[in-house]
Amino acid sequence: MEATSGSNFRMIDVSPKAVTHRRSLAEGRIYLSPLVFEKVSNRTLPKGDALVLAEVAGIMAAKNTALLLPLCHPLPIESVQVQCELEPEARAVRVRCEVSTSAKTGVEMEALVGVQAALLCIYDLSKGTDPVIRIGDVTLLEKEGGKSGFWQHPQHSERVMKERQPTPQPHLDHMRVAIVTISDSCYEGSADDTSGSWLVERCEASGAMISKQYLVPDEVDSIRQVVMEAVETHRADLILTTGGTGLSPRDITPEALKGIWDREVPGFGELLRSSGARHTPLAFLSRSGAGMIGSSLVIMLPGSLKAVKEGLEALLPLLPHAFHVTRGGRHEHQS
């Protein structure tokens, strides 16, 4: 008798993967009859408030996803948020579920299960009043973490993304900032300087005055020349460089800058690597760092736009106090 090979099903082995921050956002809708929508809106269904109970059901389901789906990894969920929003024109309730954790695999299924459990809870509380109900539009909108980084569904509207973006805080209020892009390809015109352009916009949104923007090749003399010009001629408080911090033969930004600054500030490089590692372990290959030239702070950021965005967002909250101290101010814990 021929031996069988057993089941083809298997749980993916994630043991080689790195633990990173994982987040997923999903949504779905339940479409109701006019009578049911009115009772849901007024919270007068015979069984009780469907919206409140649906949020609880969504949280419970997201936490128990691995018990429902055979090949889903059990995860230590750190946060689940379920929100129900009425949409009167469509006589619908939109449910969103956002799940986050630090793990080796994502939380897409947890977010999707949370949405569908919340929708089914509304269905259960509503069907006795009128069973003309339809559930639909269940979609994964966003996910982030691991090698793929940030992903967004193509149909996820820009309006929703803008609602989710916090208003930039004035971390760089009245600061003079110089931006230096260090890249052979951008200098030669074969690539666009997306990182430098984004840094200008983001710093201005944080209250900075851009004193100068530079674009130079990966050459020690060129890098040193523009950085010293930013310090001496344009009196920049902060100089942000992007590019040249990796391991390729042409990545020489750290060597160029360490030769001209007066003091190294190692904590900024450590922060950039540790915060970047939440998204990809490759962040530990970066040689980003920082130092002082007189009273000017120079921070080396990676070259990729994604890494620049993640890095600057991690740095910005520290910069006001850093400048306060460099100008003779006391640490906050001192009286």
Q: Which residues are catalytic?
A: 124
Q: How remote is the C-alpha of 101 from its chain's centroid?
A: 13
CB 23 within 8 A of CB 109: no
Q: At what angle do helices 194-205 and 305-315 cross, to 10 degrees?
A: 30
CB 138 within 8 A of CB 115: yes
State the Cα–Cα distance between residues 271 and 284, nearest whole angstrom: 11
State the Cα–Cα distance between residues 77 and 90, nearest whole angstrom: 33
State the Cα–Cα distance between residues 143 and 186, nearest whole angstrom: 30
CB 219 within 8 A of CB 226: no
Structure tokens given for 148: 């793929």
